Amino acid sequence: MFDGLDVTGVGLFSPQLTWDVVRRLKDTTRMKLVLKGIETREDAELCLRHGVDGIIVSNHGGRAEESGRSTIECLPEVVDAVGGRIPSLPRGLSMG
């Protein structure tokens, strides 16, 4: 199923995890593809462009980015960008 797709070392900060990998995963399986960790309008639009089936809005507990924005602060921007075309779910609604 993942023939030709090297996912060795793919992790949260891996440069190998690109939008091309997302598209290839989507093209390889009939399963729904949901991405967690989307925080911005731009990334939500990229999710749509690459065929993602759903988004989990999350700042990974603040460990993965430097803006200091909480998930609840990111949610309206992502939901607006998606415009109801795919589900956008909040994760970890802490206020900081």
Catalytic residue among 23, 24, 41, 60: 60
- What gap in Å lies between CA 39 and CA 90, rounded to an integer? 10
Structure tokens at 68: 């200091």
> Has 60 been annotated as catalytic?
yes
- Are 36 and 12 in contact by the 8 Å Cβ rule? The answer is no
Give the catalytic positions in this structure: 60
